[in-house]
Amino acid sequence: MRLGRGGRYSLDAFRHEALGEVTSTNTECLARVRQGDPGNLWVTGDRQTAGRGRRGRAWTSEPGNLYASLLLIDPAPAELLGSLPLAVSLAVHGAIRSFLPPAAEPLEIKWPNDVLIGRKKTCGILLESEGLPDLSRAVVIGIGINIRHRPDDAPYGVTSLEEQGCNISAHELFSHLYREMAEILDLWDEGRAVAEITRRWRQVACGIGQPIRVNLPDRSIDGRFAGIDDRGLLLLDTGHGTQAIAAGDVFYL
Ligand code: BTN
């Protein structure tokens, strides 16, 4: 895919601020937008002292891994934002793919946006959003990729790129992520290209057709992972029909 110059998500449309120790690169982006930053800003940190994951969990953030957040303003109309997590996971998948040795275990995506190698999590993505006084909406895409370290207390399998035979610095990986993200946002077309995003996502999805458990805030449902619909919702075949699920944690059974 080629990116033209000067478009909303062309390569030269983004700025990058590289920081040392931060609380959280997501927090830094939110602080920038409150100070009037116009968006399309990448913030990276060498280390986070208060990295956060989904559902209020902490994200272990030792030096050597990649901690990056991208601030966007009004990236799409609200009703088209749902496919953004899938698009972002494709960008991360693309950035990691070229560095993995040929014999590495499969690089796949667990719905909606965990990037796995050999079914072990190597990247987490946290999207946060905030309404601004001028009624626009800031969206922060936070990405953590395990390069040299992985947590030992995670409630699911985890791995690092180093463990998978991949020798790369956070700096080098970020330069690929920067390009892949610009390309995928351009393709995503403010949410209008959801069909192409879901098509690509299905090609690298982990476990379609297999039994899974989906943890919702108030209960768990077991069933067969029937794929995703054309909006990007998870399709769960429970044996009594197929449910479309917008948010939840997936576990392979
Ligand atoms: C998850 O729980 O899977 C999401 C983890 C997201 C972690 C990244 S690291 C960079 C950015 N800053 C944060 O505080 N969190 C995200």
Ligand 1 pocket mutation, candidates 27, 67, 129, criterion most atoms within 8 A of CB: 67
Specify which residues 125 forms β-bridges with.
143
Q: Order of strands across the sheet with 220-228? A: 242-245, 234-237, 220-228, 211-215, 249-252
Token pair listed for 183: 């390309």
Q: Does an H or E element contain 196, and which?
A: helix 194-203
Is residue 143 lining ligand 1, measured as CB closer than 6 Å?
yes
pTM tops 0.75, yes or no: yes
Q: What per-residue confidence (pLDDT) applies to 102?
A: 87
φ, ψ of residue 56 to 5 degrees: the values are 75, 10
Q: Out of 3.40.50.720, 3.30.930.10, 3.40.50.2300, 1.10.3720.10, which CATH number does the structure's domain 11-203 have?
A: 3.30.930.10
- Distance (angstroms) between ligand 1 centre and the Cα of 60 equals 9
Is residue 67 lining ligand 1, measured as CB closer than 6 Å?
yes
- Taking residue 56's Cβ as centre, other Cβ atoms within 10 Å add up to 6
Q: What is the pLDDT of residues 161-188, one digit of tens each?
A: 999 999 999 999 999 999 999 999 999 9
Q: What is the pLDDT of residues 8-31, one digit of tens each?
A: 888 899 999 999 999 999 999 999
Q: What per-residue confidence (pLDDT) applies to 6?
A: 61
Regarding beta strands 120-131 and 114-117, do their DSSP bridges make them parallel or antiparallel, or are they unpaired? antiparallel
Q: Which fold has domain 211-252?
A: SH3 type barrels. (2.30.30)
DSSP 3-state assignment of 81?
helix
Q: Does an H or E element contain 73, and which?
A: strand 66-73
Ligand 1 pocket mutation, candidates 42, 49, 113, 143, criterion most atoms within 8 A of CB: 143
Token pair listed for 4: 């033209």
Q: What per-residue confidence (pLDDT) applies to 3?
A: 58
d(CA 158, CA 128): 23
Token pair listed for 138: 């800031």
* Angle, helix 170-188 to helix 194-203, in steps of 10 degrees: 130
Looking at residue 23, its amino acid is: T
d(CA 174, CA 171): 5
d(CA 110, CA 90): 11
CA-wise closest residue to 188 among 112, 69, 70, 84: 84
Position in ligand 1 atom list of the atom nearest CA 123: 3
Placement of tokens 């690089």 in the chain: 107
φ, ψ of residue 128 to 5 degrees: the values are -130, 150
Digit-by-digit pLDDT tens for the chain (253 residues) are 555 556 788 889 999 999 999 999 999 999 999 999 999 999 999 999 999 999 889 999 999 999 999 999 999 999 999 999 999 999 999 999 989 998 889 999 999 999 999 999 999 999 999 999 999 999 999 999 999 999 888 888 999 999 999 999 999 999 999 999 999 999 999 999 999 999 999 999 999 999 999 999 899 999 999 999 999 999 999 999 999 999 999 999 9
Ligand 1 pocket mutation, candidates 52, 62, 114, 149, criterion most atoms within 8 A of CB: 52
- The answer to whether 90 and 201 have CB atoms below 8 angstroms apart is yes
CA-wise closest residue to 100 among 85, 118, 126: 118
Is residue 125 lining ligand 1, measured as CB closer than 6 Å?
yes
- The answer to whether 12 and 4 have CB atoms below 8 angstroms apart is no
d(CA 118, CA 153): 18
d(CA 96, CA 94): 6
Q: Where are the domains of the chain?
A: 11-203, 211-252
